A = this chain, B = another copy of it.
Amino acid sequence: MPKNFKANITENILLNEHFRLLNLSPLSDIIVPEPGQFYMLRTGDTYDPLLKRPFSIFRHEDNTLKFLYRIRGKGTLSLSNLKSGDIIDVIGPLGNSYSAPEGDFIAIAGGIGIASLLPLLRRFKKRAYLFYGARNKDELIMLNEARSLSKEIFITTDDGSEGEKGLITDSLSDFLNPSRITHYALPIYACGPTPMLKELSKVVAEYPSSLLPLNKGRMGGVKCYVSLEEHMACGVGACLGCVVKTVSGYKRVCKEGPVFDIEEIVWE
């Protein structure tokens, strides 16, 4: 089962102005993806755009691969123009995946980051405290499914059009308040824009390790995994284009990641 294959587009559904759901039916046998893994998708037939684009697996069922994507630039625009019956080239599944949480856990999704986290929530139903933030109500895509899969959901929007107004990391800080001591022993899984993850690293680092039930000598003591984004060319570890600075040097987001222990990352 080679990792590159052709797939038939069965649907490319417009969810709203910004988001689409792409359903692919692979034309050959594929490897079953794990939550957190991603695929490189070719977005058109010509050399402009040239490179494939990375997208997290959003769902795999009935031999269909589903991707939730946001139209951002040239590549995603080109992808959005493809229609049912078109064939595209795909590489995947790629990268590592979220490690399985032992009990309850915290999930933090910033915007389209929800696409990467929902497979985890689906696998471990009703075990996640989900923090879901977006610019506004319209951008809280797949909110119903997210809600139904979570143990508890905390919503924030930049403009307050749904949930709390403000930063997702602020509402996490509240939640991790030392008085609710059980919560901050929970592992955290996060996916979202880099500024959010950077902010998260501060929240995590701030927690006085002495307060933790089991201090494993970790910074702040909270176990936190983040899924990172970088510009990618190959997606398979060959070009060294997608590296991130870690405490042990540059690592490839597409190969050693996309999921990293937050402690490893050197934020710049």
Contacts and interface: CB of A to CB of B under 8 A. Distances in A.
A47 to B, nearest CB: 5
A48 interface: yes
Contacts of A44: 46
Q: Within the oligomer, what is the number of copies of this chain? A: 2
A77 B45 CA distance: 10
A218 interface: no
A46 B50 CA distance: 11
A216 interface: no
Interface residues of A, number: 11
Interface in A28-52: 44-49
A78 interface: yes
A202 interface: no
A46 B78 CA distance: 9
7 contacts: A45-B77, A45-B78, A45-B81, A46-B48, A46-B74, A46-B78, A47-B48
- 4 nearest CB pairs, A to B: A48-B48, A46-B48, A47-B48, A46-B46
Given A45-B77, A46-B48, A83-B83, 6 more contacts: A45-B78, A45-B81, A46-B46, A46-B49, A47-B48, A48-B48
